[in-house]
């Protein structure tokens, strides 16, 4: 029974991270559809509500997948501090991915257009980090549950 639950949790985490990655890419596409004016490294553009909502959804899914993987995987290996510390690469990918998604999402939060330095591809980089996070979470969860056996 525990093995079936472990496989289900791995699939759930992987599906959540893949969905977050796809939402990140879709947010980038929606952001690129709004009109913008670019001069050298400066850019003026209007925010995209659709990109904001998609980026927010991606950030929430990434956070939930991380919480599920660490809470359930961490609970399985709570006696092994060494396995818990192995998850640092997982946390680094989460920090980078979540930061990129939040920066990209917040740039679409304003009600009026904004001008400033060009900051492209934050949402797509966050989406890529979601896929990498999924792989690290699965590896962490599998190693955490294998250490219990």
Render pLDDT for 89-133 as a digit per residue (tens, 0 to 9). Answer: 777 888 888 888 888 888 887 766 666 666 678 888 889 988 998
- Residue 101, H or E segment: helix 88-106
Per DSSP, the three-state class of 40 is coil
d(CA 85, CA 148): 16
**Domain carrying residue 19:** 2-148
Q: Is pLDDT larger for residue 16 or for residue 140?
A: 16
**pLDDT tens digits along 29-85:** 988 888 766 667 677 777 888 989 999 999 999 999 888 877 876 555 444 555 555
Interior CA angle at 146 toward 142 and 149, to 5°? 155
Please give the tally of structural domains in the chain: 1
What pTM was computed for the model? 0.80
End-to-end Cα, the chain, rounded Å: 14
């Amino acid at each position: 029974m525990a093995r079936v639950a472990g496989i289900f949790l791995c699939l759930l985490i992987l599906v959540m991270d893949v969905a977050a990655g796809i939402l990140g890419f879709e947010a980038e596409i929606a952001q690129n559809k709004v009109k913008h004016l670019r001069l050298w490294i400066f850019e003026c553009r209007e925010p995209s509500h659709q990109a904001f909502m998609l980026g927010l959804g991606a950030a929430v899914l990434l956070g939930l997948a991380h919480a599920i993987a660490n809470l359930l995987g961490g609970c399985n290996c709570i006696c092994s501090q060494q396995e818990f510390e192995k998850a640092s690469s997982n946390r680094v990918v989460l920090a980078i991915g979540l930061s990129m998604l939040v920066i990209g999402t917040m740039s679409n939060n304003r009600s009026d257009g904004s001008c400033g330095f060009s900051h492209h591809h934050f949402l797509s980089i966050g989406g890529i980090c979601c896929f990498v996070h999924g792989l690290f979470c699965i590896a962490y969860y599998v190693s955490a549950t294998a250490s219990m056996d």
